[in-house]
Structure 1
Amino acid sequence: MKKHILLLFLTLSLTQLKAQNIDLKTSNFSSKNITKIKEGHYLIDFGKAFFGNVEISSKTAQNDSIICRLGEKLNNNIIDRKPGGTIRYQQAIINQLPKNQPISPKLNPDKRNTGKAAIKLPDSIGVIMPFRYFEIENLKVPVTDLNITQKAVHYQFNDHASYFLSSNETMNAVWEMCKHTIKATSFTGYYVDGDRERIPYEADAYINQLSHYSVDNEYSMATRTNEYFINHPTWPTEWLLHTVLLFYQDYMYTGNLEPLKKHYENLKLKTLMDLERADGLISSKSPKLTSELIKKLGFKKANTKIKDIIDWPPAQKDTGWKLATAEGERDGYEIVDVNTVVNSFYYYNLKLMSKIAGFLNKKEDVLLFTNKASRVKNTINHKLFDTHRGIYIDGEGSNHASLHGNMLPLAFRLVPDEHVKSVTDFIKSRGMACSVYGAQYLLEGLFEYDEAKYAIALITNTEGDRNWWNMLKVGSTMAMEAWDLKYKPNSDWNHAWGTAPLNIITRYMWGVKPKTPGFKTATIQPKLADLSFSKIKIPTQVGFILAEHKTTKNETLYKITIPKGMTAEFIFPDNYAKAYINHKKIKKSSYSKILNSGSYEIKVVL
């Protein structure tokens, strides 16, 4: 995908980074375990991978050289010298070990992630790489004389701003891995795609943004990345169609209207509304996608080709890679000129733009986008829905139906009520037939339509390799770019777009979202299915929401704390029999209750 993008970006110089006040932090972590391989040869495990380098300080000098190895992956209890894909390994030599003077091995930069397209790091940081393990060989002084630390680079991050614990140990482990991913991949001060390229991409950034919001109330990184996309768009159609989503969520979490004011006209362009045909649908193959429009969208080259992605990686025939599934992560999706996935994203863009226009008091545009969205929805359900099978086809002229062609309409609430069951039944029949990126929308749609039990089963699945448990099982401590190397042979072990469970648990399972911009009013709509217990701390710019639940038989007790300056709408399940707030019974006709700041006990009996 991404070699075509290298020419589309401008280099961010060190001066530019300083001008934007990107304050990168350095944390030092001690080893969790030191294993003697043989005399003078040791393996140090720091417990988790970070981007950085090793720092060694010795009480005793060694005049002879030592061999240093850093890596993310083990093989037979030593660092894997050929880990595959873009999993990192490097060897370096330190010529001598000085006494009481910290020293680090000199790492070689990677040509791809330090080129013109990549986000640059300050010279003071030096060359860094992701690693969990460190080997030292030819050591001739006692290892106990050494203080070896993992010198990790990351953006400012409040480790105590969030927590999650539940009765499901797999879910707990997945959540912790995803949280760590958000901190560890923040090393440039932008939402980048991982270590292979260190480039921001809209779809990657969107999942990163939602997950970051779920664990910390630091918003400058998201705002900075969004600003970057205005003049540095990427070529996949659906990636462009994430731009409005990024800016909308930024406003909902921060309440800062300035980015929407500043970039409103550009956001209108990024909806690709200029490609509309008479029935409202769009296509990247439209003759309306002129070189002039390409330049307006922010591309530096007027001959840039915009192309539908659907999911990544694409089919084996498109990449030349030998993949575990020949159709890649697309579930056999047939990419026709006017297709369901692209137009589902387009519909959602129009819905959000109608809200953004409302925030900016642009009444005519509210009506414009509302009417456009209504027309697109009607056309999709008329032309791209197979009424006989009760599911969506991949696009105009196609007879094929895929997971993607159905999960996107479900996630974006395009599906008419009478067809929700047939669509969700079809989705459930496909399993996890999408990438770690596509899983974001699969899980959103399932939770939106009361399939929480199945969605939680996907998050906590430990069978096979198309799940987050497999990432932990193979040894990664960050979310991976793909379920496994066999699904994407050049994939890495540090991709924040794999953190869907983190924001899904917060925003859909616990159902905590901003109801009004800036989180002045929150929505809390728990859909906890079979979990018997959980507790969570959710950061907002107003303060921290604390929540826990305990279920016994048909009764659930919630404990909720709303911070000062916030109100929250607690939404009860549709099928509740009785409910109490602080021991006071709620009228059966009430399906939500406004909670002011303070602490509450809410008992719900089904």
Structure 2
Amino acid sequence: MRVLLLNILIVLGTFLKVQAQDYTEVKAKFEHNLHQPVNIQKLGDGHYFIDFGKAYFGTLSIKAKASQKDTVVFHLAEQLSSEYTVNRNPKGTIRYQNVVLPHLIKGESINLKLPKVIGNTKPEAIALPESFGVIMPFRYCEIENLKIPIDDLIIHQKVVHYKFNDKASYFTSSDTILNQIWDICKHTIKATSFAGYYVDGDRERIPYEADAYINQLSHYAFDNEYSLARRTNEFFISNPTWPTEWILHTAKMFYYDYLYTGNSESISKFYDKLKDKTLIKLEREDGLITTDNERMNKQFMTQLGFEKRKKIRDIVDWPMSERDGYEMKAINTVVNAFYFENLIMMSRIAEALEKQEDALFFKDKANQVKALINDKLFDKSTGLYIDGEDSSHSSLHANMFPLAFGIVPEERKEAVLKFIKSKGMACSVYAAQYLLEGLYKSNEVAYAQQLITATDHDRTWYNMIKTGSTMTLEAWDIKYKPNLDWNHAWGTAPGNIITRDLWGIKPVTPGFEDAEIYPQLSNLNFSEIKAPTIKGPITAKYKKIDDHNFKYEIELPKSMNGHFKVPTGNWKSITHNGVEVHDKNKLKLDKGRNIITLVN
């Protein structure tokens, strides 16, 4: 018994040592900053309102220059109820807390001790280091019963986030709404990194694969910091979540980590686990997958990384009201579209690891699944994809996911796109990522930009700004998700879409050895962007000189190769650094500065 206990203690000690080493490494990447107020208003005797400009995760730091024996009340909040009044009873998971200090002591520095929130401190939530204390997202503070002059109170918003280089990226354009949307997305990525993982916001503080995928791509658009994405990806190997499609994001995230960094360590280490997470074992005889499958047993769930859960479940979109009336069937079109995408991702991963036999297997399997979707999950009479086998309903989701993943044949695109465009934004902020990807891949750039910058209804990013939030919301509006939070990075799709699709800046080969720039700038008159990469920033400028002349200026890092894909148009003349170019599709970029002019 003593020997067994000793062995347990040795194992536990080793585990704690490893955890401590890991934490020490991660701890060094957190930044703690003090932000000054941008606005202070006196509301009455001893009553003040303070605005810090943007919401961050943190607490309030105060230092008094004079003592006060009486109590002081502090109200911290994300939302206002009127111009200079914090909302003390917000709906959903919009945050508010009040703290009463018994007194103020001259010269004493205090960080407000906030009460814990049960919802985001459950065992499955990411636990923050004790040194952080309890933190919350807030922008505003109200102070009551302050007997000393406000000038005798040094007050800061004490914030914490993962290291972030604000200067690593920028974007501006002739569309001021688009600029504001870029800004809110960028701030969201910075502020929500407080946990050291990509979490789903403050309501649960749990990593979810779909949230993390959008978070990852947007983080790449704003900063060349890659450890947070990799750390989150590897967390999912043993900590998956229940939705079928969320698990089917795993290989995508690992592949993009490799594509953006050129580092194959993660895809190599977890290769066999990634094969499990393709859900290939849920195939029925014809090759399509279903969760209504007797193979979903304890052994299978253990292989996926679950300890207790008995089943996974199709989700399509979340909340359920965002599914555009989707008819859930055992053979689910969205699930199988994701399955196809997974097989493509695994074929690329296998190629990268020189596993040629596996690469061929996954490619062949992907082609088989694509053919099956186009045969069994398509209604020839309507020209649309149906929600699932034996369904008579065609939703936005059943059509936009196949479009985004390249499943839709060219001859079917016209009908599919017409249907998609008739639906508007009939999906959640999560699924909007794939809606926009599909539109840009199909050259529907004007409509895609219209969706991003719309201001005339509440299913827009502008509505998030209009509500008063400085981070993207969990849903379009609280009426669509009554328990939403105001700090959800899965709402940042435009952040990565602007870089990857509107400006078309993407890695062609791992580690950005080769880059592609394919601008689809629609009706913009000018734009500038700085896109971070592991090799250094790509900077680009665009100006519409007049209706016939367009100028691009692109600068690549010296260690990077790149090409410029010519935007669609009837170009009479294309010049590159003063030399006429005859290839109307793409041109090889020089290392350093490139000036390209297009004339129609």
TM-score (norm 1): 0.94
Partner of 1:44 in structure 2? 50
- More helix per residue: 2
- Alignment partner for residue 395 of structure 2, among 399, 402, 406? 402
Partner of 2:9 in structure 1? none
Between the aligned partners of 1:295 and 1:75, the Cα distance in structure 2 is: 48
Verify the 8 A CA contact 1:11 1:117 in the aligned structure 2.
Answer: no
Matched, 1:103 2:130: no
Partner of 2:144 in structure 1? 137
Matched, 1:517 2:510: yes
Partner of 1:306 in structure 2? 312
**Aligned AA for 1:472?**
I
Unmatched runs of 5 consecutive residues or more in structure 2: 1-14
**Aligned AA for 2:317?**
D
Q: CA deviation at 1:385?
A: 0.8
Verify the 8 A CA contact 1:537 1:546 in the aligned structure 2.
Answer: yes
Q: CA offsets per residue over residues 352-383 of structure 1, 9 Å max, x none? A: 11111100111111110011000000010011
Q: CA offsets per residue over residues 270-295 of structure 1, 9 Å max, x none? A: 01011112221101112222221111
Secondary structure at 1:283 match in 2: coil
Verify the 8 A CA contact 1:576 1:604 in the aligned structure 2.
Answer: no
Matched, 1:65 2:59: no
Verify the 8 A CA contact 2:93 2:203 in the aligned structure 1.
Answer: yes
Verify the 8 A CA contact 1:14 1:121 in the aligned structure 2.
Answer: no
Q: CA deviation at 1:444?
A: 0.3
- Alignment partner for residue 416 of structure 1, among 405, 409, 413? 409
- Map 1:358-369 → 2, pairs under 5 A: 358-369=351-362
Matched, 1:173 2:180: yes
- Map 1:588-599 → 2, pairs under 5 A: 589-599=583-593
Partner of 2:205 in structure 1? 198
Q: CA deviation at 1:590?
A: 4.2
Q: CA offsets per residue over residues 315-334 of structure 1, 9 Å max, x none? A: xxxxxxxxxxxxx0000000
Between the aligned partners of 2:222 and 2:386, the Cα distance in structure 1 is: 37
- Alignment partner for residue 569 of structure 2, among 572, 575, 578? 575
Between the aligned partners of 2:79 and 2:154, the Cα distance in structure 1 is: 22
Q: CA offsets per residue over residues 401-452 of structure 1, 9 Å max, x none? A: 0110001000001000001111111000000000000100000000000001
Partner of 1:18 in structure 2? 23
Secondary structure at 1:549 match in 2: strand
Between the aligned partners of 1:225 and 1:386, the Cα distance in structure 2 is: 39
Partner of 1:566 in structure 2? 560
Partner of 2:10 in structure 1? none
Q: CA deviation at 1:49?
A: 0.1
TM-score (norm 2): 0.95
**Aligned AA for 1:485?**
I
Cα pair distance change 1:574/1:469, threshold 3 Å? closer
Q: CA deviation at 1:100?
A: 2.1
Between the aligned partners of 2:107 and 2:559, the Cα distance in structure 1 is: 52
Secondary structure at 2:390 match in 1: coil
Verify the 8 A CA contact 1:40 1:138 in the aligned structure 2.
Answer: yes
Verify the 8 A CA contact 1:446 1:452 in the aligned structure 2.
Answer: yes
Unmatched runs of 5 consecutive residues or more in structure 1: 1-9, 315-327
Between the aligned partners of 1:147 and 1:560, the Cα distance in structure 2 is: 46
Verify the 8 A CA contact 1:69 1:89 in the aligned structure 2.
Answer: yes
Partner of 2:230 in structure 1? 223
Between the aligned partners of 1:289 and 1:333, the Cα distance in structure 2 is: 24
Q: CA deviation at 1:62?
A: 1.1
Cα pair distance change 1:238/1:13, threshold 3 Å? farther
Q: CA deviation at 1:16?
A: 7.1
Verify the 8 A CA contact 1:161 1:544 in the aligned structure 2.
Answer: yes
Partner of 1:82 in structure 2? 89
Matched, 1:601 2:590: no
Between the aligned partners of 1:191 and 1:591, the Cα distance in structure 2 is: 38
Q: CA deviation at 1:574?
A: 3.8
Secondary structure at 2:450 match in 1: helix
Between the aligned partners of 1:11 and 1:111, the Cα distance in structure 2 is: 26
Between the aligned partners of 1:236 and 1:389, the Cα distance in structure 2 is: 30
**Aligned AA for 1:75?**
S
Partner of 1:94 in structure 2? 101
Between the aligned partners of 2:569 and 2:185, the Cα distance in structure 1 is: 33
Secondary structure at 2:521 match in 1: coil
Q: CA offsets per residue over residues 85-128 of structure 1, 9 Å max, x none? A: 00000011111112122212220011121121111111111000
* Structure 1 range deviating more: 568-577 or 117-126: 568-577
- Map 1:418-497 → 2, pairs under 5 A: 418-497=411-490
* Structure 1 range deviating more: 91-100 or 64-73: 91-100
Secondary structure at 1:103 match in 2: strand
Between the aligned partners of 1:141 and 1:340, the Cα distance in structure 2 is: 65
**Aligned AA for 1:32?**
V
Superposed CA RMSD in Å reads 1.5
Between the aligned partners of 2:45 and 2:24, the Cα distance in structure 1 is: 50
Q: CA offsets per residue over residues 376-401 of structure 1, 9 Å max, x none? A: 00010011111121111101000100
Secondary structure at 2:219 match in 1: helix
Cα pair distance change 1:105/1:151, threshold 3 Å? same
Q: CA deviation at 1:555?
A: 2.3
Instruction: Quote the sequence identity (%).
Output: 55
Secondary structure at 1:488 match in 2: coil
Verify the 8 A CA contact 1:13 1:120 in the aligned structure 2.
Answer: no
- Alignment partner for residue 366 of structure 2, among 373, 376, 383? 373
Matched, 1:344 2:350: no
Q: Report how many residues are paired.
A: 582
Verify the 8 A CA contact 2:329 2:391 in the aligned structure 1.
Answer: yes
Between the aligned partners of 2:54 and 2:326, the Cα distance in structure 1 is: 37
